[in-house]
Amino acid sequence: AQSVTQPDIHITVSEGASLELRCNYSYGATPYLFWYVQSPGQGLQLLLKYFSGDTLVQGIKGFEAEFKRSQSSFNLRKPSVHWSDAAEYFCAVVTFSGGYNKLIFGAGTRLAVHP
């Protein structure tokens, strides 16, 4: 069955440090992959998505993600974290199941940023 794993439940980084959030997926075909961010009390905002082509994808707020088929991974990165990046981050994969695009989410990684 298709699944998304985010191995890190919580991550804490210092402001200005680099960040990498891990995401591994299980899907037989070419995956369509997303990263969403959820600030406290807010809905989910799309950060970036990968459908095909260049495996390094640029998103909003200075984030990027790299699709690595050999590792079934789609890790999210940012070179320098800002305090406003503190939020929960969700990786998701689209599967075509039962006649519709089914979005399968990972459990999320909560990011804390120390000043």
Partner 1 sequence: NAGVTQTPKFQVLKTGQSMTLQCAQDMNHNSMYWYRQDPGMGLRLIYYSASEGTTDKGEVPNGYNVSRLNKREFSLRLESAAPSQTSVYFCASSESVDGDADTQYFGPGTRLTVL
For partner 1, the binding residues (CB under 8 A) are: 4, 9, 32, 34, 36, 41-46, 49, 51, 90, 92, 94, 96, 98-103, 105-108
Q: Please state, in angstroms and rounded to a whole number, the distance separating the CA atoms of residues 19 and 17.
A: 7
Residue with tokens 């998701």: 92
CA dihedral for 10, 15, 20, 23, sign (positive or negative): positive
Q: Which is nearer to partner 1, 43 or 115 (CB)?
A: 43
Q: Which is nearer to partner 1, 11 or 44 (CB)?
A: 44
* Shortest distance in whole angstroms from residue 31 CB to partner 1: 9
Distance of CA 61 to the CA centre of its chain: 13
